[in-house]
C-alpha cells in the first residue's frame, strides 16, 4: 500500500520535496499538499500586469554552492531552454556612499582609487593578525568588527546583510547566516588567507549544462522566477488543495491527522514547510512545547516598489546598489532589473527598477500609507540616482513576514528541536526557511536532501 504524505505549504520547499519524492518512489507514495493561500509559489511571485516580469520576491538564484541543486532541478524538469543568465554588467554592484553611487571594486587597481576604500587599509592589513573567536556563535557585527574593525563592518557588511536578510547585524547569527565565512576563520585563522588557500569546491559528474552555468552571477527565467514553482506543479503527480488552512494537527500512533475548516486528512507522514510560528500554533500542546525557543524568531517585512519606464533612465549598467548605515536613507537598496536580465524586457529601451524598503532597518515605514511610501521612494530615487521622470507603471507591494531573522543561537535551537522531533515524532519532518537558509537555493537543497534520507 502506498505511503500517504501530507505537505503543509506549496512554496518552493513543498513543491520541490513533492517532486523528488514522487520521482524516487513513484506509485509507492501519494502526496497531498495543503496550501492556505489561493496560489502556489509562496514568496516567489512574478507580476505580469504591465511588463514581461516584475519580481515581488526572489529575482534570481546564484548557481554556486547549494545553487548546483537548483541547476540540477532545472535540468531534471527539462526547462533549461527557459533559463536565462544575468547580463555580464550585473557583476558590477554599487553602494550609495556619501551621496554618490560608488562601484564596489572588482580588482586591486579599482580598490586603490575607490572612495569606498577610504580609511579601511589598516583594517584589511591587520585582519590576518586577529585572533580566532572563542565562542561557538556570535553576531555578524561582533564577528566582523573583531576581524576587520568598525569601518568595514558598517560600510560593507551591514549593507550586504541588509540586502540578504533585511536584518540587524547586531542581532543576526554569524553561524546561521554566513557559516562558510565562519569556517574560513576556523580553518585558516584569517578570512583573507582562507580565500586564497581554501581548496576550490570539487564536484563530479556534472552535466555540460551545469558546467556551463555553475559560475554565472545569477540565473532566472525568461518569464520570471514563478516559472520554477509552476513547472514543479505541472510535472508532479500530486493532489493539491488551495485555500486549505490547517487549523489543527493530531498524532494517533503512527497516523497523522490534519484538520482544515472543511476537511480532515490522514497520512503516514507530515512534512511542514510553513513558518514555525504558524506550525506551533496548530500542534498538540505537548508537541508545540518543543518550539518554545524557535517560535519567537522574528520575521521581517519587506516593502518593494516596482517601476517600469518605457525609456532608458539608468545612468549606467549594473546590478543595482545597496545603502550602507549612516546614509540617512529610507531605502535598503535598488535593483536595476532591466540591466540584470535584459531578456525579460519587452520595450526596446525599457527600464525596470525595484526599490527595497522596510526590514529591521525601518519597521516604522509600515505605518505609512502607500501614497506616502511611493512619494518617499521617488524622492530618494531622485536624490540618489537623479531620476526625475515619471514611471509608466508603479506597483507597491509588501512581502509580509518574508525573511526569518536567524538571531544568536538559532543553529543550536534548530538542532535541539530536530533531536526532540526525531526521537518523539519520526513521522513529522521540518524543512523551509525557518531552519537552514532563506534563499531559494537553500530551500531546494534541503527539500531534496530530505527525500534522499527518506525510507519507506
Same domain, 416 and 287: yes
All cell numbers assigned to 342? 535584459
Same domain assignment for residues 291 and 411 = yes
Tell me if 397 is assigned to some domain. Answer: no
In angstroms, rounded to a whole number, what is the distance separating the alpha carbons of residues 61 and 3?
33
DSSP string, 15-71: HHHHHHHHHHHGGGEEEEEE-SSSSSSTT--EE-SSSS-EESS---B--STTHHHHH
Angle at 440 (CA atoms; ends 69, 295), nearest 5 degrees: 120
157 shares its domain with 235: no
- Supply the pLDDT for residue 446: 98
Per-residue model confidence as pLDDT tens for the chain (456 residues) = 789 999 999 999 999 999 999 999 998 999 999 999 999 999 999 998 887 789 999 999 999 999 999 999 999 999 999 999 999 999 999 999 999 999 999 887 888 889 999 989 889 999 999 999 888 899 999 999 999 999 999 999 999 999 999 999 999 999 999 999 999 999 999 999 998 888 877 777 899 999 999 999 999 999 999 999 999 999 998 999 999 999 999 999 899 999 999 999 999 999 999 999 999 999 999 888 888 888 889 999 999 999 999 999 998 999 999 999 888 899 999 999 999 999 999 988 999 999 999 999 899 999 999 999 999 999 999 999 999 999 999 999 999 999 999 999 999 999 999 999 999 999 999 999 999 999 999 999 999 999 999 987
Residue 173's beta-bridge partner residues? 139
Co-location of 171 and 250 in the same domain? no
Give the 3-state DSSP-derived string for 280-304, with helices as H, strands as E and coil as C: HHHCCHHHHHHHCCHHHCCEEEEEE
350 vs 16: CA distance, rounded Å: 34
User: Considering 151, 180, 197, which residue would you say is the last residue of a domain?
Assistant: 197
pLDDT for 197 equals 85
Full domain range(s) for residue 115: 107-197
Decide: helix, strand or coil at residue 225.
coil
178: phi then psi, degrees, rounded to nearest 5: -135, 60
Please report whether residue 147 resides in a domain. Answer: yes
Q: What is the pLDDT of residue 255?
A: 95
In-domain check, residue 17: yes
Do 126 and 186 share a structural domain?
yes
CATH number of the domain at 120, please. 1.10.3110.10
Phi, psi of 115 (to 5 degrees): -60, -25
Question: What letter would DSSP give residue 236?
Answer: S
Q: Are residues 191 and 233 in the same domain?
A: no
Same domain, 156 and 287: no
Specify if 11 maps to a domain.
yes
Q: What is the predicted pLDDT for the residue at 345?
A: 93
Residues 180 and 237 in one domain: no
Is 51 a member of any domain? no
Please name which of 96, 90, 88, 89 lies closest in space to residue 321, comparing C-alpha atoms: 96
Domain count for the chain, please give it.
2
Q: 187 and 113 in one domain?
A: yes
Residue 266 domain-assigned?
yes
Q: Sheet harboring 331-335: ordered strands across?
A: 100-103, 93-97, 320-322, 331-335, 351-358, 299-309, 393-404
Choose one of 197, 213, 242: the last residue of a domain. Answer: 197
Q: Does residue 266 share a domain with residue 122?
A: no
Give yes or no: residues 166 and 116 share one domain.
yes
The domain that contains 12 carries what CATH number? 3.50.50.60
**Looking at residue 395, what is its pLDDT?**
95
Query: What's the confidence (pLDDT) of residue 204?
Result: 73
Choose the final residue of a domain: 145, 175, 197. Answer: 197
Tell me: the pLDDT tens digits for 359-373? Answer: 998 999 999 999 999
Is residue 376 domain-resident?
A: no
Residue 325 belongs to some domain of the structure: no
Amino acid at each position: 500500500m502506498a505511503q500517504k504524505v501530507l505537505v503543509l505549504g506549496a512554496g518552493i520547499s513543498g513543491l520541490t520535496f513533492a517532486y523528488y519524492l514522487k520521482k524516487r518512489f513513484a506509485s509507492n507514495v501519494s502526496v497531498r499538499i495543503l496550501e492556505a493561500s489561493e496560489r502556489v509559489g509562496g514568496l516567489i511571485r512574478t507580476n505580469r500586469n504591465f511588463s514581461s516580469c516584475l519580481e515581488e520576491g526572489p529575482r534570481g538564484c546564484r548557481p554556486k554552492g547549494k545553487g548546483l541543486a537548483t541547476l540540477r532541478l532545472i535540468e531534471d524538469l527539462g526547462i533549461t531552454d527557459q533559463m536565462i543568465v544575468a547580463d555580464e554588467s550585473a557583476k558590477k554592484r554599487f553602494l550609495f556612499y556619501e551621496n554618490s553611487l560608488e562601484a564596489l571594486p572588482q580588482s586591486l587597481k579599482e580598490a586603490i582609487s575607490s572612495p569606498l576604500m577610504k580609511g579601511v587599509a589598516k583594517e584589511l592589513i591587520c585582519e590576518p593578525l586577529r585572533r580566532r573567536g572563542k565562542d561557538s556563535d556570535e553576531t555578524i557585527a561582533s564577528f566582523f568588527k573583531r576581524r576587520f574593525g568598525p569601518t568595514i563592518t558598517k560600510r560593507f557588511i551591514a549593507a550586504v546583510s541588509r540586502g540578504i536578510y533585511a536584518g540587524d547585524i547586531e542581532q543576526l547569527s554569524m553561524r546561521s547566516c554566513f557559516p562558510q565565512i565562519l569556517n574560513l576563520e576556523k580553518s585558516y585563522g584569517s578570512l583573507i588567507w582562507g580565500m586564497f588557500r581554501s581548496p576550490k569546491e570539487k564536484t563530479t559528474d556534472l552535466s555540460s549544462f551545469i558546467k556551463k552555468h555553475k559560475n554565472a552571477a545569477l540565473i532566472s527565467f525568461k518569464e520570471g522566477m514563478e516559472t520554477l514553482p509552476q513547472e514543479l506543479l505541472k510535472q508532479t503527480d500530486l493532489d493539491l488543495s488551495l485555500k486549505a488552512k490547517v487549523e489543527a494537527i493530531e498524532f494517533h500512533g503512527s497516523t497523522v491527522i490534519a484538520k482544515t475548516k472543511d476537511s480532515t486528512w490522514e497520512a503516514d507522514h507530515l512534512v511542514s514547510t510553513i513558518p514555525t510560528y504558524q506550525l506551533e500554533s496548530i500542534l498538540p500542546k505537548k508537541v508545540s512545547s518543543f518550539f518554545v525557543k524557535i517560535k519567537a524568531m522574528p520575521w521581517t517585512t519587506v516593502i518593494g516598489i516596482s517601476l517600469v519606464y518605457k525609456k532608458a533612465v539608468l545612468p549606467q549598467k549594473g546590478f543595482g546598489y545597496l545603502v550602507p548605515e549612516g546614509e540617512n536613507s529610507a531605502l535598503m537598496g535598488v535593483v536595476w532589473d532591466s540591466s540584470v536580465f535584459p531578456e525579460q524586457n519587452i520595450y526596446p529601451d525599457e527600464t525596470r527598477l525595484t526599490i527595497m524598503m522596510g526590514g529591521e532597518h525601518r519597521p516604522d515605514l509600515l505605518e505609512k500609507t502607500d501614497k506616502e511610501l511611493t512619494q518617499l521612494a521617488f524622492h530618494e530615487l531622485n536624490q540618489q540616482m537623479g531620476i526625475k521622470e515619471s514611471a509608466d507603471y508603479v506597483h507597491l507591494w509588501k512581502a509580509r513576514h518574508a525573511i526569518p531573522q536567524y538571531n544568536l543561537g538559532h543553529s543550536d535551537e534548530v538542532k535541539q528541536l530536530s533531536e526532540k522531533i526525531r526521537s518523539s515524532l519520526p513521522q513529522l519532518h521540518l524543512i523551509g526557511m525557518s531552519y537552514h537558509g532563506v534563499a531559494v537555493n537553500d530551500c531546494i537543497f534541503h527539500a531534496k536532501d530530505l527525500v534522499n534520507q527518506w525510507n519507506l
